[in-house]
Structure 1
Amino acid sequence: MRLLLVVDNHLGRTKDGQVWSKGIYDYSFFSRYLDVFEEVNVAIRIEDIKDNIGYPNLCSGQNLKFLPIPDFHGVNGYIKNYFSVKKAINSYSKDCDCAIIRIPSAIGFQFASIIKNKIPYALEVVVDPWDFAAPGMLRSKVRPLVRLHWTNQLKKLCKHANGVSYVTQFALQKRYPNKAQIHKESLQHFQSYYSSANIKKDFFAPPKVFLPSQKAFQIIHVANTINSYVKGHKELIKAVSLLNKKGHDLSVKFVGDGELVSEFQEYAKLLRVEEKISFVGRIPDKDSMKRALAESDLFVFPTHGEGLPRVLIEAMAVGLPCISTRINGIPELLSDDLLINVGDIEELIRKIEYLISNSSLMTEVSKKMSYKAKEYSEDKLQIRRKQFYIKLKKYTESVLKEK
């Protein structure tokens, strides 16, 4: 059976036809769908590149085919390419038996609106658009429209799709209920939950031990794309500035790149904390990411919009004490004493100080992080993913028999 997989990202294609990724995607990510489907066709934005410098992760592999969508950036780019994307959707959906759409995204919504009455399809809901496009988060005049439109679209699609899986166990399901949840699961309508994380056994590390003599602390924050205010960069810079003025010795390593890096660097200079703030660019491979996390003391992620952040689970997997926001699925990972309200810098300062002032507490939290992260190991998650894919395949087989 041939699956159409719709993913919102940017990949590069070299002259030999091989497809490469800058970030989290690689063949192991896409091949998880091959556990059930014989062939997977991935519809994704692709640009032609001379070589894979800057694109270290190979995505191409056996039984995997990439269907290029015109590569564009931003709202204006999407509008200019709208009809080209529509043409691609009509073409690609004819060659597949069913679809899984990772959503929300402009491309994902467009695919779903066109194929929803043509072939069986399921959704993987990975983030909440209501939070992602909240005021101040996106630098676009149409942000309010995006927020309302995407939220309403997601609500409608979850009630229409044959299957819906969420990255959270409870949070996203409350705002975006699906048909199986409202009525009853059946062959035609089904649901599940699982994270997008693909954390292998060798990524996990023993819990950390913190000593009373430690005075300096390295904080790490990870957001591969730094093109919006969603991930709380400014709040963390402000908090570190104020904590250092109080006599603490904190520094922050920001992982990721994008058009707002220079703005955040200028903000650090304005607060006279630029020597304590570093932007290290993207870390594309898992070994380097594990090393960067393991070399740090604390993961702080004051994000405004998430489903269930993969980067937070990865930080927990190496035993980092973590602080993040009370939003969507994050309270499913962290206890309340490690959570802050969105945008609350004073609470962020209190929680950071609460940890770094008590070495035994930091050690105990590290143990809790390591233990909780094991629930999200790749082997455990893949069991639930596979069950969900099998349900889509079984329903598709029943539809094909009727034709």
Structure 2
Amino acid sequence: MEVTIVNDHRFHMDAQGRIWTSTNHDYSFWQRYLVAFGKVNVTARCDQVGQPQPGWLRADGPGVSFTPLVKYIGPQQFLQKLPALFIQVLGNVRRSRMLVFRSTSILLFAYYAALQLSPRPYAMELIGDPDDLFQRGQVGGRLGKVFGPALVWVMRQLAWNSRGNLYVTRHFLQQKYPHRFKREFGISDVMLDTGAFSEHRSFHQGTLSCIMVGNLAQPYKGVDVAIHAVHKVSRHRPIRLTIIGDGQLRAGYEQLARDLGIAEQVHFLGSVPSGQGVRHHMQQADLFLMTSRAEGLPRAMLEAMAVGLPVISTAVGGIPELIDDRYLTDMDDADQLAAQLLLVTPEELQAMSQQNYKKALEYGDALLDRQRLTYFTFLRTEAQAAG
């Protein structure tokens, strides 16, 4: 039996038809579904490339195939290409025995309409809240603000009427996008094997080394806020910020650091291979910063906590489920973040480290894989019952 997974992530297809990812969602992520299904087909946008770049990871493999969607970027292109896209989506729906939506994007409009014409069993995997992304103008500009309320409504309808829902949070997304029969599974999609954990850290006076991890293609990660906060702190104590991630906004952030006179304190590493590549840099840092304007339950934060890294973050999405309220800041408040960074001591960092490590243990693969097996088995049973 095959499961069809609709995903927002943009992949790369090389000249041989192989699928690659420059960040996460590699083959090991999709392979997890094979414990319950014979085949996995991922439906997503795929950019054509000649050859993969160093550090890219294969996303397809034995049992996992991809169906490239009609390519579009942003709401305007979505509307322009909607006729061709809808024909493709309707065909995908009609061929599927079980659909899984891992999407918080306008693509759901097309699938919602297709399901009205050709009902199929489906499940929702709620990984974020479009209310934050679109209505606050973080994605899609003016059109995004128009699409936002409608997309929230569509997601609520899909979540309410699905065969069952997986949520990466334990409370936040469940309250906003409930299931009518409470067929709800609260399971993070982070992947933390035993090698992802390291408990022992030490903190000293001196330069405060901070790190951020995120896609720099959209403004919702709030990198500008972090840079402004580092500028304010640098007047009073030595500080360094390392930023992992790449995207079209990187050049603007680099210019901002130069304009503020802190280019030597802010280091942009670009894309770094997930897993050990990112962990290596986390283990060299004193503090993980999350200045996002929208999140579900960020994997990068849990990866940082697993290596005992203290965290200061905005209080968005499911983040308050992970860390103490004392280390939460308001969105877009560089002054508040700077005040936190100025006051933190080595002793407090040590206490934060121990607390975060213990919390991350709740998200280890050994525990989550058992929960995922229950969820995947549920999906297969629902698909079989639907015929």
Q: Could you report, residue by residue, the CA deviation over 1:193-216 in whole angstroms, capped at 9, with x for unpaired residues?
A: 1112112221212231113xx210
5+ long unaligned stretches in structure 2: none
Mapped pair 1:398 → 2:381 = no
* Residue deviations 1:300-323 (CA, integer Å, cap 9, x gap): 111110110011101111111001
Contact 1:56 1:285 in 2 (8 A): no
2:278 aligned residue: 289
Q: Which residue type is aligned with residue 385 of structure 1?
A: R
| Shift in Å, 1:333 | 0.4
Compared CA separation, residues 139 and 119, structure 1 to 2 (3 A): closer
Bigger shift: residues 31-40 or 260-269: 260-269
Q: 2:342 aligns with which of 349, 353, 359?
A: 353
2:86 alignment counterpart: 86
Quick one: which amino acid aligns to residue 124 of structure 1? E
2:193 counterpart residue number? 200
Map of 1:260 onto structure 2: 249
Q: Does the C-alpha gap of structure 1 residues 178 and 82 become closer, same or farther in structure 2, counting only changes over 3 Å?
A: same
SS at structure 1 position matched to 2:219? coil
1:385 pairs with one of 335, 356, 372: 372
- Give the match for residue 338 of structure 1: 327
Secondary structure of 1:9's partner?
coil
1:68-87 alignment, distance < 5 Å? 68-87=68-87
Q: Distance in 2 between matches of 1:359 and 1:89?
A: 54
Q: CA deviation at 1:257?
A: 1.3
Q: Map Cα deviations across residues 334-355 of structure 1 (whole Å, 9 max, x no partner).
A: 0111111212222212222232
Mean CA deviation greater in 83-92 or 311-320: 83-92
Contact residue 98 and residue 121 of structure 1 kept, 8 A: yes
How far residue 168 of structure 1 moved from its aligned partner, in angstroms, is 0.7
Q: Which residue of the partner structure matches residue 31 of structure 1?
A: 31
2:294 is aligned with what amino acid?
A: G
Letter in 1 for 2:81: N
Equivalent-residue separation in structure 2 for 1:235 and 1:17 (angstroms): 40
Counting matched residue pairs gives 386
Q: Is the Cα–Cα contact under 8 Å of residues 47 and 70 in structure 1 kept in the other structure?
A: no
- One-letter code aligned to 1:58: R
Give SS of 1:316's match.
helix
Residues of 2 paired with 1:96 and 1:39: CA distance? 12
Which runs of structure 1 show a deviation greater than 3 angstroms over 4 or more consecutive aligned residues? Answer: none
1:126-161 per-position Cα deviation (integer Å, ceiling 9, x unaligned): 111111224352361212112212212112211121
Supply the distance in 2 between the matched residues of 1:47 and 1:226 (Cα, whole angstroms).
18
Gaps of 5+ in 1: 182-189
CA–CA separation in structure 2 for the residues paired with 1:111 and 1:22: 26
**Aligned mates of 1:138, 1:201 — CA distance in 2:** 36
Q: Which of the residues 208, 219, 226 maps onto 1:229? A: 219
Are the aligned partners of 1:241 and 1:273 in contact in 2 as well (CA < 8 Å)? yes
Displacement of 1:265:
1.9
Q: CA deviation at 1:367?
A: 1.1
Find the counterpart in structure 2 of residue 366 from structure 1. 353
Contact 2:108 2:154 in 1 (8 A): no
TM normalised by structure 1 equals: 0.91
Change (3 A) 1:375 1:109: farther
The amino acid across from 1:342 in the alignment is M
Counting only pairs closer than 5 Å after superposition, residues 257-336 of structure 1 correspond to structure 2 as 257-336=246-325
What root-mean-square deviation, in Å, do the aligned CA atoms of Structure 1 and Structure 2 show?
A: 1.7
